[in-house]
Amino acid sequence: MGSNTPSLKMISITTDAGTLELIPAAADQLRGIARYWPMELISMLDLPGHFGLVFQHGDKEVHGVKLQPADALEADAMVLFQVNRVLVASAVSLYLAKEHKGVMVPCPYYKTKAPGKAETGIAFFVGPDGESQSRAQGNVRYDHELGLGATAMIMDMIHAIGTASRDLRIPMATVIGIDVRPRLALGGLAMDFVVEGPRVFVVSDRVLEHDSVWLYLVRAGFSRIPWAPMAPTEFAADSKETGR
């Protein structure tokens, strides 16, 4: 990861609940993500101020835990996909209250299935800190595969999303499975946020002012938030990446 200040300008977004300012993140703010993420955080040389969050080196891939609903008609699945984005935006402040260290990347996903059908749930990718294991209260189901402390982080984010769903009276799709899966098995991801310790980053690389995510983020108590556009990135097996 480069040390230069990102070449982005602050964006001010007006919502019905107030104004949200996306402030370009400083390099020092991003070091915690680079520290905890299982692979690398790299600067995109052709896009100043943009970053790649590396999910794959050759056949080695970052895995996450997915909440899987039943397949739905594509039109319904697209609505659920947007609902999941809103729920994640509403949940991040609740997750912060748990005071986890490490990195949490909650991603609604959309995967085309049989003709006219799609699967759309939420996946959780983490770079855990071992101190979080003490919060798991005996439940360490995912720690072996994803690292010490992963289970507590994931379960707290799931509970935060459930709380947001109840508080907003926006129902979630019924979950039929909770499984560990590699990123590429999930189809397309909506990577809107990265949470590192006490800080939430907006990482959307395409900011649309009328996106409903911003309204719910403001309603959750945010008015200024660091912004570091990121995209899931992969490297070939023989790549020699040095940009972390």
Give yes or no for a contact between 1 and 42, defined as CB atoms under 8 angstroms apart: yes
Q: Residue 8 gets which letter from DSSP?
A: -
Question: Looking at the domain assignment, is residue 240 inside a domain?
Answer: no
Question: Looking at the domain assignment, is residue 6 inside a domain?
Answer: no
Question: Looking at the domain assignment, is residue 243 inside a domain?
Answer: no
- Count of domains forming the chain: 1
> Quick check: 48 pLDDT over 80?
yes
Mean pLDDT computed over every residue of the chain: 91
In the numeric block, which tokens belong to residue 135? 């919060």
Question: Looking at the domain assignment, is residue 5 inside a domain?
Answer: no
Question: Looking at the domain assignment, is residue 44 inside a domain?
Answer: yes
**Residue partners of 46: CB distance under 8 A and separation at least 6:** none
Angle of helix 212-219 versus helix 74-96 axis, rounded to 10: 30
Q: Three-state DSSP class for 137? A: coil
Render pLDDT for 181-217 as a digit per residue (tens, 0 to 9).
Answer: 999 999 999 999 999 999 999 999 899 999 999 999 9
Say if residue 194 is exposed, middle or buried (CB neighbours under 10 Å; 0-12, 13-18, 19+): buried
Furthest CA-CA distance within the chain: 49
Question: Looking at the domain assignment, is residue 241 inside a domain?
Answer: no
Question: Looking at the domain assignment, is residue 3 inside a domain?
Answer: no
Give yes or no for a contact between 44 and 51, defined as CB atoms under 8 angstroms apart: yes
Question: Looking at the domain assignment, is residue 1 inside a domain?
Answer: no
Give yes or no for a contact between 95 and 156, defined as CB atoms under 8 angstroms apart: yes
C-alpha–C-alpha distance, residues 224 and 220, integer Å: 12
**Residue partners of 74: CB distance under 8 A and separation at least 6:** 112, 116, 117, 118
Render pLDDT for 111-140 as a digit per residue (tens, 0 to 9).
Answer: 999 899 999 999 999 999 877 655 655 678
10 Å Cβ neighbour count for 242?
Answer: 7
Query: Which domain covers residue 129, as residue numbers?
Result: 11-233
Give yes or no for a contact between 230 and 205, defined as CB atoms under 8 angstroms apart: yes
> Quick check: 37 pLDDT over 90?
yes
